[in-house]
Copies of this chain bind each other. A is one copy, B any other.
Amino acid sequence: MTNTTGDTAGDAGPGARRRMPHARRREQLLQVALTEFGRRGYHSTQMEHVAGAAQVSKALLYQHFASKEELFAEVTASIVTELTARLNAAVLAEQGSVDGIRAMVRVLFDYATAEPDAWNLVVRHLDKPEVGLELRDLRERLGVAFADLLLRRRRRDPALSPAELAVNEHRARLLVPLMYGSMLSMVSWWLEHPDTSREKAEQMAVEFIWLGLDRLRSGERLGKDSAMAPEPR
């Protein structure tokens, strides 16, 4: 750190030191910004913090990103892209079975564990209204994609009338927030309760969600009448 020629800048790679080429510096700054934003939240993070953490002046930071907002947007966008991709991959790999759920849950646990700052930034303190929006969008897109997958097989079933299908579609979309919410919530809970094993937490989430979805997939009609304790009141 105090070294002028040789260095040990904690950075990766051999040639990594001051005076980086544009692109590499940009990457580093994004990485550092992600960490800072993730730990402090948008509002409590100052551009100086980011610059400082990257061992660079604020002015340089501004040569790469026009504004704090832009920097932040870029950071969150990358996270959202990454997470979306992973989740989509997980869902696509396991066509709608329990393993699909298991895969999604695993992706979330993996991500939260491997990238705590990113997770924090996106799921915990959503400091910025904007992030809220992007997140809602993420959830929405994932939700639609997932509902599609859930219904893919049923859609091809010629025994189902379009009306029946429509009912199922609607049901599937309603299930998404339930699934999604419980997954996120479980991961957050687990992070705060390290005494609980990850396996148990994962398994519980998978079971819980699967029970709900199973019914839908098995075609059972969950009418207002049946399927529920017969409404005393």
Residues of A within 8 A of B (CB): 41, 43-44, 95, 97-99, 124-127, 129, 132, 136, 170-171, 174-186, 188-189, 192, 196, 200-201, 203-212, 214-215, 222, 224, 227-229, 231-233
Residue of A182, A209, A214, A229 contacting most chain B CB atoms (<10 Å): A182
The CA-CA distance from A186 to B201 in the complex, in Å, is 21
Q: Is there contact, CB below 8 Å, between A211 and B207?
A: no
The CA-CA distance from A99 to B189 in the complex, in Å, is 25
Q: Which of B178, B206, B209, B214 contacts A185 (CB 8 A)?
A: B178
Q: Is there contact, CB below 8 Å, between A192 and B229?
A: no
Q: Is there contact, CB below 8 Å, between B174 and A204?
A: yes
Copies of this chain held together in the complex: 2
Residues on the B chain within 8 Å of A196, using CB: 170, 174
The CA-CA distance from A171 to B196 in the complex, in Å, is 11
Q: Is there contact, CB below 8 Å, between B125 and A132?
A: yes
Q: Is there contact, CB below 8 Å, between A177 and B206?
A: no
Q: Is there contact, CB below 8 Å, between A179 and B177?
A: no
Residues on the B chain within 8 Å of A184, using CB: 181, 185
Other A-B contacts than A99-B232, A170-B196, 9 sampled, CB-CB below 8 A, are: A43-B127, A44-B129, A98-B228, A171-B204, A175-B208, A178-B186, A181-B182, A207-B222, A207-B228
Q: Is there contact, CB below 8 Å, between B124 and A132?
A: yes
Closest 4 CB pairs between A and B? A181-B185, A177-B189, A208-B212, A182-B182
A125-B129, A232-B99 known; A227 vs B207 contact (CB < 8 Å):
yes
Instruction: Show 23 A/B contacts (Cβ-Cβ < 8 Å), sorted by A.
Output: A43-B43, A97-B233, A98-B228, A99-B233, A125-B129, A126-B126, A127-B127, A174-B196, A174-B200, A175-B204, A177-B188, A178-B185, A178-B186, A178-B204, A181-B181, A181-B182, A181-B185, A182-B185, A184-B185, A206-B228, A207-B212, A207-B215, A211-B215
The CA-CA distance from A44 to B43 in the complex, in Å, is 10
Q: Is there contact, CB below 8 Å, between B192 and A174?
A: no
- Chain B residue with minimal CB distance to A193? B173
